[in-house]
Amino acid sequence: MTTVSRGELDVLLERLRRETVDPRAGVFGPQSMLWRINRESIAFLGGGRAALLQLAHPFVAHAVDQHSHTKTDLSGRFVRTFDNVFAMVFGDLDTALNSAKRVHTYHGTVTGTITEDVGPYHRGDSYHANFVPALLWVQATLLHTSVQVYELVFRPLSLWEKDAYYNESKKFGALFGIPEAANPPDWTAFERYMADMFAPGSPVAVGAPARDMAHYLMQSPVPGLGPVAKWYETMTAALLPERIREEYGFKLGRVERATFRASIEALRRGYPMLPSALRFLPAYNIALRRIAAKRPTRFELLVARAWDGLVKENRPKGRGSRLKPVPAAA
């Protein structure tokens, strides 16, 4: 089994450190295509799709099922995961590298066995969260979903833009220990990789733990928001590839398709009109101010503090209440 050792991760992180021009801007910076696409808060529209695609890999589903609190702490799982991702993408260099080390350390404890025959895997097969193909799949779902949502709400990206975004994303993968050689070489090859993974017979196959967790993920976290949760389920189902959607058992009939089309049209018209403090992620807005050595605006601070409050509220209690990263897909 090809897993990422701490030594291999350290080599990749040292290379990122050497290649970073401005440590205040972090690994990527404001001129990157990665910031341009991933700064948009509308990316959360695809959060359900990315999560369900990740869980469709039996390694990921069993890791999350056996090592996470997905069923009892949905908001905590969500907040902790994105807190680490935002630190890697929008944090300064030291913040990004330290977050990468924390995530890798936790992934080193996430091992176990698959409990069912699913896809090409059998009951009793072992898994490890630092398994390179599983890490690559998790990263791929984030990239593919980000581009899908961006193009739906804004405009189609050119092949040049997609190649630039994809090449930068290899640095994001390096933060998880994914060696460059493990990545498809360019966006065209990456799309072939995704098509192969969506096809029958691939390592991606929805099993019982994935379907079970999908049920919890699509439930409303707050009483009274059932209609919103149902709408989000419809949007998620429409964004999923057909085979994966069917394996999860989601319905996508005439009414659901009409809801999806109307929602996307409304987002195309209204979302770009939002003020930057709402349209862009708090981590992005704060990063721009950090680079320019300017204080964040009062509203940006309020939004950022609200997010920080969620993070602190969802930290596991005890032993210093230190943030405990969850599996990469969780």
Enclosing domain of residue 169: 6-317
Residue 327 resides in a domain: no
- 54-106 per-position pLDDT tens digit: 999 999 999 999 987 666 555 555 556 677 889 999 999 999 999 999 999 99
Tell me the CA distances in angstroms from 56 to 53, 113, 201, 258, one per residue in order: 5, 16, 13, 26
- 249-308 per-position pLDDT tens digit: 999 999 999 999 999 999 999 999 999 888 999 899 989 989 988 766 666 666 656 555
Residue 324 resides in a domain: no
- 154-210 per-position pLDDT tens digit: 999 999 999 999 999 999 999 999 999 999 999 999 999 999 999 999 999 999 999
Residue 175 resides in a domain: yes
Residue 71 resides in a domain: yes
Residue 326 resides in a domain: no
Distance separating the N- and C-terminal Cα atoms of the chain: 22
% of the chain beyond a pLDDT of 70: 85
Residue 121 resides in a domain: yes
Residue 51 resides in a domain: yes
C-alpha 271/C-alpha 267 separation (Å) is: 5
**For the chain, what is the total number of helices (H) and then of strands (E)?**
16, 2
* CB within 8 Å of 53: residues ≥ 6 apart: 141, 144, 145, 204, 240, 244
Residue 265 resides in a domain: yes
- 169-181 per-position pLDDT tens digit: 999 999 999 999 9
Domains: count for the chain: 1
Question: What's residue 138's pLDDT?
Answer: 94
pTM recorded for the entire structure: 0.88
Answer yes or no: are the C-beta atoms of 114 and 127 closer than 8 Å: yes
